[in-house]
Amino acid sequence: MRTPASISKHPIHPMLIVFPIGLWIFSLACDLIRLAGGSSDAWTTVAFYSMVGGLIGALCAAVPGFIDLLYYKGGAPPVKKIALTHMAINLTAVVLYAINIWLRASGPGGMGTGLSVPVLLSIIGVALIFVSGWLGGQMVHVYGVGVEGRE
């Protein structure tokens, strides 16, 4: 599939998604280390800034992803539905992370020692991006979306 959101025939969206995925998973890992007894508030700080970087990365990846969605014309009938579901799940994760960042930025300095709402939002967010990533993989590996010569 040729799309305006490509560089040298390579779609940009898959190049960019690794950043929010990696940063959000790392953010959750930092939260879990802190909950497991990490002795420094640095884990909370790193989790926060990783989350912010992931949100910025997700918004940057969303632009070429949306262009790909608008441009896509062919393929099997379920592909458009999968793509719309993929987008909806990603947007839900972005909203959850925006709320999470707001809660962390406006709340008290520490998140305490127990499982908090921000950590629960991170767990839900990571679960959502796993599902969304699986759907993205379905589009590429099963239906050939974005693979030169497959559509």
- Tens digit of each residue's pLDDT (9 = 90 or more) over 129-147: 999 999 999 998 888 887 7
pLDDT at 71 over 60: yes
pLDDT at 150 over 90: no
- pLDDT for 151 beyond 80: no
Q: How far apart are CA 5 and CA 65, in angstroms?
A: 8
Residue 52: half-sphere exposure toward Cβ, Cα within 13 Å: 10
User: Residues of the chain with pLDDT > 70: what percent?
Assistant: 90
pLDDT, tens digit (0-9, with 9 covering 90-100), for 34-65: 999 877 789 999 999 999 999 999 999 999 99
- Write down the pTM of the prediction: 0.89
What does the alpha-carbon distance between residue 61 and residue 74 come to, in Å, rounded to a whole number?
22
